Amino acid sequence: MTSGPDDATGGEGPPGSDPPTTEGVDVVSCTRCPRLVESRSRIVNGVGPADAELVFVGEAPGANEDSEGEPFVGRSGSVLDDALREAGLARSDVRITNCVRCRPPENRDPTGEELDNCRGHLARELAAVDPAIVVSLGKVPSEHLLDRSVAVTSEAGDVADVRVGDRPYRAVISVHPAATLYDGGQRETFFETIARAADLAGVGGDDGGQSSLGAF
Ligand code: SF4
């Protein structure tokens, strides 16, 4: 998908040896999804380092995210922060983004058309960051990235090859952190998945980021 005339992104990052930046892939103006333009108060772009080895992809901004302008804040964000900490990582070590950048009305799932509309924005972000591992947080992002039905509970921790835009990525399937709030039994699954993803990406842990996993 190419940018339409109603898209506008930030400028290109600084040249030379300056730190990498994703400024050029932040969406600052987009009206492709009329229903979401009505329901959003802002476009919520991804946050985190421009060269992160681990990128988390959620579904869409909720009320807290729409209010604060950052993905995965509130209770789900706290669970994600806890799992990252246990894996030896801070939120500031990873990049966190969503399949769609505008809050759906009444927190409904984004439609297939809305997911397709926003996929180009995600593709540009992933291409700029070039992570070792992409983690799909929940059913909607997992099925969007893998392009098939996904049983996230039974497939959590599995690795899949996905293509976003014209680039391949390795994705780790995960339950949504909110699932741990409603079903305590999912907490261990979620924490183990995040630790595995960090290990596969070669980040976090007590050994300075050296992966302890061999080929998988
Ligand atoms: S969800 Fe994505 S494609 Fe749709 S209006 Fe928002 S930024 Fe644009």
Residue 212 falls inside a structural domain? no
Give the range of the structural domain holding residue 124, as residue numbers without chain letter. Answer: 8-201
118 CB within 6 A, ligand 1: yes
CB of 25 closer than 6 A to ligand 1? no
Distance of CA 88 to the CA centre of its chain: 19
Domain-located, residue 23: yes
Total structural domains in the chain?
1
> pLDDT tens, 21-69?
676 789 999 999 999 999 999 999 999 999 999 999 999 999 999 999 9
Tokens of 168: 């391949």
> Does 36 fall in a domain?
yes
Max distance between CA atoms of the chain, in angstroms, equals: 49
**pTM, whole model, 2 decimals?**
0.89
Atom of ligand 1 nearest to the CA of 36: 5
Residue 140 included in any domain = yes
Nearest-CA residue for ligand 1 atom 3 is 118
- Cα–Cα distance list, 145 to 27, 120, 164 (Å): 20, 12, 7
CATH number reported for the structural domain that contains residue 151 in this entry:
3.40.470.10
Q: Contacts for 11-17 with beta carbons within 8 Å, 24 or more apart?
A: 13/50
Residue 40 lies in a domain: yes
Residue 213 lies in a domain: no
Query: In the structure encoding, which two tokens stand for residue 58, read together?
Result: 């959620």
